[in-house]
Chain A
Amino acid sequence: MPTSVKTYSSKPDSIWDALKKLWAFKSLIWVFAKRDLQVKYAQTVFGFGWSIAKPLIGLGIYVFFFGLVLNWNSNDIPYPIYVLTGLIGWNLFSYTVTSGISSVQESSDLIRKIYFPKSILPLSKTLVGVIEGLISFLLLVPLFVYYSISFSWHILLLPIVLFYTTLCGLFLVFVISSLAIKKRDLLQVVPFFLNMAIWLTPVFFSASIFPVKYQFLMTYNPIANMVELWRWIFFENIAFQSVWGINFVLMLFFALSSFYFFTWQEQKFSDY
């Protein structure tokens, strides 16, 4: 094991140093994620079965009320598939945001005792979200078979869509946790924000149910774009929109900036 000289000073890291540190500790992302997964279903009978059962129960409720009772428009896609494809993306996003933000608070004890880049914490939560998202994917297979629809070749672009979804989530996580170090009011607002955002996003319904003059809200809403993108990778008949590409590039930039802002602020986590 080569000995290395470590230097700590009052100067903040450059973005390059921050990324290098993150890389050096990358194995921790998996360590924390694995720990979370092991802990999540500890002392349950069904264990990992719950990560299928939970979206299935949710799906049942949404399909019954929105699909059967309210008969919402789903752009000619069978309603259960429409909801589930949108829900997988939305759940990953909202899980990244809520658990990412609480991850820093959750581990405040650890942060005061052991050094590691704090961005590891939300990143590992994201990984948990991705794994659970992929598990709920399994629900889609019988649905596609039942409605005899075949997967589109777009599915090969799934990694990019996953990446984009986590970028959206992590951007919010980094910004909110950096701003909420001293004053935690912002953390109280997040659940309301998410509850509201799902109704500005075509998860349960199609954007076409909005009056035409408000439909632009969907076009410029990066989260709505994300959900549309999730549907796009499953279905051949949805057209790719160039605004998604622009969104992707912008979000990449925002997420990186917010990551840097976060590493710049993380030194204060152990002080408050």
Chain B
Amino acid sequence: MESSVAIEVKDLSKEYFFNATTSGSNKSFKALDNLTFSVKKGESVAIIGANGSGKSTLLKVLAGVVKPTSGTIKLNGRVATILDIGAGFHPELSGKENIYVNGQLLGFSKKEIESQVEEIIAFSGIQKFINEPVKNYSNGMFLRLAFSIVVHLDFDIYLFDEVLGVGDEHFRTISKEKIDILYNSGKTILHVSHNIQDLSNTDKSIEIKNGNLKRYYNSSKMLSEYVEEVHENLNATKNDITPFNLGKIDLTHKNNNNDTIHINSISIIQKGFKNGNELRSDEPIEIIIDYLKKIDNCTIDVFLNILNIQGNIVFTSSAAINEDFSTKKESGNFIMSCMIPENFFNGRLFFISLIFIKNCHETFSKLDSELNFESISSNDKFEIVLALEKIAKFKIKLFINKKISDYSRLKIAPELMLGLDWKTEKK
């Protein structure tokens, strides 16, 4: 085994036999099927996959808790296995006593724990209750203490199984920070989670499907691919999203009969764009809305929402932010356009939503003049004239400096790049 390798897994299989007393037959189930991969020292690897794909079994085998049916595993260094936070805690023992029991269970000597015990207690934030039996602890205290023990002891390899999914927001944040510190200090980390956000800091990802290794490469690319695939499969059953095609968005099956406005067309234009639904990240994107305003004495403002594949808004933009740009009060045909600069999107799938709001500025100023929110009446709400949710789906292909490469080490924000106006001056 090379010294730069932390984990080496070869032809690993794990077969479970169904309990004959309940099923009556001797069928078996392959939780892991011939997995081979290796992890270098100092790498952090996300393990993703649907429920029941074998992720947790893999971690259990790596932890030595479950014996493989065939194949070998080599681990270089001390392994911390956090398959379940607080395993080995005894309810009757005090927090402090449990620190020692748990630390020794994880393979540390009393002396090593002694040197860390103050920090463990400080990080957990339960100094006041540290001599109380843990059965009297709240869930949060219990978790904080358990997590604190593991991250303060000096392991080489950390196996985390859904550890961040259990605590409150505060706990999640400090734990994530702590995991980042471990990562930056060169520890090897394997992290199983269903929350892709928690995995965004990893170097590489392993996807396991039905006990097989489906793919194993850079996280920034693979995690977004994975999320997109999951959501594409979800969306495949719904037909309300029009795939974007040839610049002009098809609005026929959107409700476009409105007393106030009628949308003539909405188009997305990019230089060099021919057909299909793929735009380039290195060219500006123009969104043009052509509409007929049917009534006088009011303004209509459009809000553009760009959503990621999970349906979260990535950003919102509107001309309404600037009073001068607001539409005129009279009726007639209007064309509004919005320019998204080049190098603004990181390559991904996005949805567009447009919301048309009546007398936006009047509502703004009404709300601003209110001294407290309790007095805001329902009349002060923004009046939505027309909401076109997810009218188009488009894919942005990532180009930087006119060529596709692997930019995963840049740690670019998952959805957006900072293609804003920069100036450099030499003093």
Contacts and interface: CB of A to CB of B under 8 A. Distances in A.
A113 B76 contact: no
A109 to B, nearest CB: 7
Interface stretch (B87-95, B199-207, B292-300): B87-95
Contact of B133 (A6, A8, A42, A183): A42
Interface in A4-60: 4-10, 25, 27-28, 31, 35, 38-39, 42-43
Contact of A31 (B16, B62, B105): B105
A164 B84 CA distance: 39
A9 B87 CA distance: 24
Interface of A: 1, 3-10, 25, 27-28, 31, 35, 38-39, 42-43, 109-116, 182-183, 267-268, 270-272
B71 A10 contact: yes
A8 B105 contact: no
Contact of B105 (A4, A42, A109, A116): A116
A115 B81 contact: yes
A35 B90 contact: yes
Contacts of B87: 109-110, 113-114
Contacts of A110: 87-88, 105
Contacts of A6: 64, 74-76, 79
Contact of B76 (A3, A10, A182): A3
Nearest to B82: A113
A195 to B, nearest CB: 28
B68 A8 contact: yes
Contacts of A268: 67
A3 B77 contact: yes
Interface residues of B, number: 45
B66 interface: yes
Contact of B93 (A5, A25, A39, A115): A39
A213 to B, nearest CB: 45
B88 to A, nearest CB: 5
Contacts of A7: 72-75
A270 B93 CA distance: 25
B68 A9 contact: yes
A9 B73 contact: yes
A113 B84 contact: yes
B154 interface: yes
B88 A113 contact: yes
A38 B84 CA distance: 24
A114 B75 contact: no
B68 A10 contact: yes
Interface string B20-52: 010000000000000000000000000000000
B154 A1 contact: yes
Contacts of A31: 100-101, 104-105
A232 B418 CA distance: 87
B133 A113 contact: no
B211 to A, nearest CB: 16
Given A9-B71, A272-B19, A114 B63 contact: yes
B93 A35 contact: yes
B133 A271 contact: no
B104 A1 contact: no
Contacts of B84: 113
Given A3-B78, A6-B64, A270-B65, A38 B16 contact: no
Contacts of A114: 63, 65, 81, 83, 87-88, 105-106
